[in-house]
Amino acid sequence: MTEQTTTSQPGVLAQILDYANRADPYPLYAQLRKSPVFRAPNGSYVVSTYREIWALMHDPRIGVGAFGGNAGAGAGGGGPGSFIGMDPPAHDRLRRLATSHFEQTEAVRPDMVRTASELIDNMRGKHQIDVVDDFAYPLPVTVICQQLGVPHEDEPRFHPWAEAIITQLDPRPGQESAAAQASAEMNQYMAELVERYRSEPGAGLLSGLAAEEGMSTQDVVATGRLLLIAGHETTVNLITNGMLTLLRHPDILERLRHEEELAIPLVEELLRYEPPVQINPKYSALDDVEVGGVAIPKGSRIVLALAAANRDPNRFPDPDRFDPEREDNEHLGFFTGIHYCFGAGLARQEAQVALTELARRLENPRLLQDPPPYRQNPTLRGPRHLPIEIDGVG
């Protein structure tokens, strides 16, 4: 058992975090896997192989601990008070309550299809579109507002709030104050909506949680915020990464145009091949633990390189090949263990609907820029814009 591995790995990690390598970090992830567990200069332990990450995330000695409250900056957390930043038993209680009021079944699919269709209808007459701004960004906000129970007339208010708040995950100079103001305004709005639902129950997650005994307004708002921010940014990336991948694999795009059922395994392969959450930095050792022959002392931060594990050749044959019909595809795209993605079912359906509708209705779509410009954030990786050219809309 050892405390450290090769000294070259921190340099590889720094290259992965460097924006210059955002468009294709996967060769660097392959280098990272040569040392499945290593201690970084800041004292954190970086884990990059499938078996080791799986073992840690099913080990009760690993938790969010001291770092979970700041998860929003790294892995799409919901901010202070959301269960994503808690360990059991508080995590289990709040997650169980939220899950009982969160609709992720096929019943929500018709609304998704209608929203996606309307967004594509708006592209009529255009020959150049941005998949992010024109489609992948607005779709999840609309779906999430419906899930929360936000009145339809108030949905437009959430678009600028979400856009400003998400800049915290993709920071640029001068945007911090706008993000803070948007966050405060959205929290106040949701708190007032929760109080209204306490006296006049309605549909959606906020109303359902407001009726639960022991759920404070702050608890309900934190859960709603988690759904909006964590669910939105990751779904935007999933849809955009998916369309980019399909445009790079035109034979599969053509199949999806005619084989709607292909969307289900295709989205699972996308979650493995181009996961929207690449790195999860929020975990810590609640006790001394050993993994991959490396001793991790109690209190140490643990950084999980999920994108590296998803292309681990010891788990996935020919891992750098995009294969929608891959078998035994138990990826880590939605994580694993007790912190498995709360909104996985909803995100799956959104991506399936989005990619199917884009493939079916866009006539001769083709990339205008490859690679496209990426977001700054290395953990929530996806194109900031995806400009494409089309001959029309069917």
Report the predicted TM-score, pTM, of the whole model to 2 decimal places.
0.88
**Which of 58-67, 266-275, 300-309 has the lowest average pLDDT?**
58-67
62-69: average pLDDT: 65
Burial (CB count within 10 angstroms: exposed 0-12, middle 13-18, buried 19+), residue 320? exposed
pLDDT in tens, 134-176: 999 999 988 888 888 988 888 888 878 877 776 655 555 666 7
Which one has a higher pLDDT value, 46 or 226? 46
The average confidence (pLDDT) of the chain is 87
C-alpha pair distances (Å), 312 with each of 33, 69, 143, 326: 8, 30, 34, 14
For position 331, what pLDDT does the model report? 97
Closest by Cα among 267, 214, 213 to 245: 267
Confidence class for position 225, pLDDT limits 50, 70, 90? confident
For residue 345, pLDDT beyond 90:
no
47-76: average pLDDT: 74
For position 73, what pLDDT does the model report? 35
Confidence class for position 229, pLDDT limits 50, 70, 90? confident
Q: Which residue stretches of 81-216 are H helix?
A: 90-100, 109-121, 131, 138-148, 155-166, 176-199, 205-210
Closest by Cα among 267, 261, 212 to 242: 267
For residue 178, pLDDT beyond 90:
no
Q: CA 375, CA 137: separation in Å to the nearest integer?
A: 13
Contact at 8 Å (CB) between 233 and 163?
no
For position 60, what pLDDT does the model report? 92
The SS3 call for residue 339 is: helix
Asked, as a colleague might, if the bond just before 371 is cis with ω within 30 of 0, I would say yes
Instruction: Give the domains, in start order, of the chain with CATH numbers.
Output: 9-393 (1.10.630.10)
